[in-house]
Structure 1
């Protein structure tokens, strides 16, 4: 038989109304009582009734998520982190995919708004043109949290890593391995993570007193095909790099594939690094050095920030910067002979 609020109340010897308020994360419930309620609810496999909750709280009990795509493990892990927080609170997640299209992103947002979602978690497209719409949401006190890809000009809550710092860490790793002519495939200029990772590339060069050569910087798209195209430009030009720093794993995978097909040894001739730790980084040969982001924690933190906003619409926007780590693999590891 399905567990009810009364069952939880009976086990804890408290009133059903207290249980209801604890499950709704109300401010007027003692934290110890709330934790006890959540623990017993888990023990009894209690599943909130969304219709009942929405009537009581005058909320839809749904959260809207808009991401560029969810076939990649990066965004699917973020989704898992979000669900780990919201489902125990009785919320459902409506997921929309923009396909890297600003028009589709806007359409997704309007569909979710028509569904009366209680708040939005968004990772913008690499060509987002929807700042006015996001401003409208913020001005109307609609709960909104950005993840990974943000809109720097907006005063909104966000969860991300320090892309500049970690790009610098990657490039310093390449420098420490003897590289001096490091190509930077910096991605789209108007994407915030691209700009930050490019800034990290420049920071590492300055720190090690390496002359900046603009010919070593190539703007790219975000897909494997864009890495393939960039690799052909490198092979057909006079750049002659000893390392290639790619702003994302898909671009790096396209580079590795193309260089290998043209007889370039990785890492013997050229070191290649990516960023964001996709599953394919562990499949491609050689395995790809990359920065691993805490995707589950990003989703979890974003959900917690959003629920805070839903609970109190006047919550001050917060930017949470999480740690990452560099996973060094064969694509940047040269074998030293004695």
Structure 2
């Protein structure tokens, strides 16, 4: 293996002291601009690589922030990460990203790796099988900030960035009722996850407030993916009477249901009205366009990262302890997939 280039090699090459070289590589203001350029040019020519790990040990800061998400192949999570990256980059931080694949064991492994990598802080959206947060205790013990987003633990000592999922689904259910729907099926993910449990509450509250009786047969908990449509449509077409409204907890799955219904000659929204969730790009690409809940995912990423970085600053050390929940605003976007009243 070729010898690693050090600041001493650069110093010998340019005829300056190692201290001056070190300052120049750290962009120290005491080094003249021409001298700094001379040193940086020599470092590039020699193939010098900065030892970030050693620097982080000296400064006790790695300038990196860990992020753990359930799945990376999610339009929602991709948008959240884009918001996080924007703020992190502006503040001079790098992201270390991993996915739990909805597994508690994988999440524990990722958490340990992040801790051993000495990240300055951690942003987490829980896995579907995570029922406690004991594996984050090493971060808590070292007072390394941990902030949860979207999927948050039932723990008052942790800061979470969320939307009001209960209100969002309440509004969507009330909209379908207003459009004339009498039997609304709600399709959602794992009810152990706070996001879906809260949405189920909103669905129940809306039915109750509008004089409908809740029927557990109309709630389908399933893996939310692009192949969901065929599975769900087969189930709902066996129900008697047939549903005339469909609430689906993400747009990809809602679009899949829409296509499966159309394939069977069932008209949307005339026969079955559909509302999705997230306001992903696909909601505007299918025909008819999907009504949906606008989930401000990019903004969520920005807010989560800003709060974490603010906590790392010298002047706001208590921000995570004082703020338990940050609730962002969502809104119902009505498009053609749910305008059933226009056909009656």
TM-score, structure 2 as length reference: 0.79
Secondary structure of residue in 2 paired with 1:254: helix
CA displacement 1:223-275 (0-9 Å, x = unmatched): 23344322211112324111011122233223212222222111110001111
Q: 1:65 to 1:189 in 2, by over 3 A?
A: same
Kept in 2: contact 1:50–1:91 (CA 8 A): no
Match of 2:63 among 57, 61, 64: 61
Matches within 5 A, 1:130-145: 131-145=133-147
CA displacement 1:85-110 (0-9 Å, x = unmatched): 22222211111122222222222222
Kept in 1: contact 2:180–2:341 (CA 8 A): no
Kept in 1: contact 2:111–2:136 (CA 8 A): no
**In the aligned structure 1, how far is the partner of 2:69 from the partner of 2:143?**
21
Match of 2:205 among 191, 203, 206: 203
Matched, 1:321 2:343: no
After TM superposition, the structure 1 stretch with the greater mean CA deviation from structure 2, 169-178 or 82-91, is 82-91
Deviation at residue 79 of structure 1 after TM alignment: 1.3
**In the aligned structure 2, how far is the partner of 1:106 from the partner of 1:5?**
40
Corresponding residue number in structure 2 for 1:15: none
Corresponding residue number in structure 2 for 1:299: 301
Corresponding residue number in structure 1 for 2:336: 330
Deviation at residue 53 of structure 1 after TM alignment: 7.4
Deviation at residue 277 of structure 1 after TM alignment: 1.8
Kept in 1: contact 2:270–2:343 (CA 8 A): no
TM-score, structure 1 as length reference: 0.80
Matched, 1:6 2:29: yes
Kept in 1: contact 2:179–2:341 (CA 8 A): no
**In the aligned structure 1, how far is the partner of 2:188 from the partner of 2:286?**
21
Corresponding residue number in structure 2 for 1:102: 104
Match of 2:115 among 102, 113, 116: 113
Q: 1:3 to 1:105 in 2, by over 3 A?
A: closer
Deviation at residue 279 of structure 1 after TM alignment: 1.8
Matches within 5 A, 1:18-57: 54=56, 57=59
Matched, 1:150 2:173: no
After TM superposition, the structure 1 stretch with the greater mean CA deviation from structure 2, 297-306 or 51-60, is 51-60
Q: 1:74 to 1:125 in 2, by over 3 A?
A: same
5+ residue gaps, structure 2, are 1-23, 34-50
Matched, 1:276 2:282: no
Q: 1:147 to 1:268 in 2, by over 3 A?
A: same
**In the aligned structure 1, how far is the partner of 2:112 from the partner of 2:181?**
48
Kept in 1: contact 2:84–2:301 (CA 8 A): yes
Secondary structure of residue in 2 paired with 1:159: strand
| Total equivalences in the alignment | 301
CA RMSD of aligned residues (A): 2.9
**In the aligned structure 2, how far is the partner of 1:150 from the partner of 1:88?**
26
Kept in 1: contact 2:163–2:328 (CA 8 A): yes
**In the aligned structure 1, how far is the partner of 2:53 from the partner of 2:108?**
28
Corresponding residue number in structure 2 for 1:89: 91
Corresponding residue number in structure 2 for 1:166: 168
Corresponding residue number in structure 1 for 2:44: none
Secondary structure of residue in 1 paired with 2:340: coil
Q: Which has the larger radius of gyration?
A: 2
Q: 1:139 to 1:208 in 2, by over 3 A?
A: farther
Match of 1:215 among 214, 217, 226: 217
**In the aligned structure 2, how far is the partner of 1:289 from the partner of 1:295?**
17
